[in-house]
Amino acid sequence: MRTLVLNAGYEPLAVVSYRRALVLVLNEKATVLSESDDVIRTVSDSYQRPAVIILNRYIRPPAPRVRTASRLAVLRRDRYECAYCGQHAETIDHIVPRSQGGPSDWFNLVACCSRCNHRKGNKSLNQLGWTLSFTPGPPTQQYRWLKDFDRPAVEWQPYLGYWEKTR
């Protein structure tokens, strides 16, 4: 009984109760894109329950929460692949070693296998002549909340598909 809300640029923004969605539509803040078969009856009217609505004006999405770069969080971001050799990573590495002032943040931590970790020791990439194939940073979690819904409604699928492809 929930409604998917798209931002004016068609990206998924939130999931709200259908009542909230109806209020947005009746106040001309949003337009219905897809309706479900359910009919909602009030004292004076009846409506199709909106399945997907789109905001009439673009709003700036809420900034994603940035989590701390824990060992597990870095391994997950890098899908357990060593940043240097691509093998299975079981540990994390400071790109700029801590002994050289390297911070423990999303920009300086990467997943690393124990072999590379051992070889790298306290040396910097320059000293070793190693390169990184990507620029580390905080994981994107703008749409994490979508995963909180085990089974997205059928009517949402076309819009979530668009989101998956353009992500």
Report the interface residues with Zn ion, using CB under 5 A. 82, 84-85, 87, 113, 116
d(CA 111, CA 117): 9
Q: Which is nearer to Zn ion, 13 or 111 (CB)?
A: 111
Q: How far is the CB of 75 from Zn ion (least distance, A)?
A: 13
Q: How far is the CB of 6 from Zn ion (least distance, A)?
A: 41
Q: How far is the CB of 138 from Zn ion (least distance, A)?
A: 23
- On whether the CB atoms of residues 73 and 89 are closer than 8 A, the answer is no
Q: How far is the CB of 98 from Zn ion (least distance, A)?
A: 19
Phi/psi for 23 (5° steps) reads: -60, -45
d(CA 112, CA 83): 6
Q: Which is nearer to Zn ion, 90 or 105 (CB)?
A: 90
Place of tokens 């390169």: 131
Q: Which is nearer to Zn ion, 35 or 90 (CB)?
A: 90
- On whether the CB atoms of residues 68 and 19 are closer than 8 A, the answer is no
d(CA 62, CA 12): 12
- On whether the CB atoms of residues 100 and 85 are closer than 8 A, the answer is no
- Give the total residue count for the chain: 167
Q: Which is nearer to Zn ion, 10 or 80 (CB)?
A: 80
Q: How far is the CB of 111 from Zn ion (least distance, A)?
A: 9
Q: Which is nearer to Zn ion, 24 or 109 (CB)?
A: 109
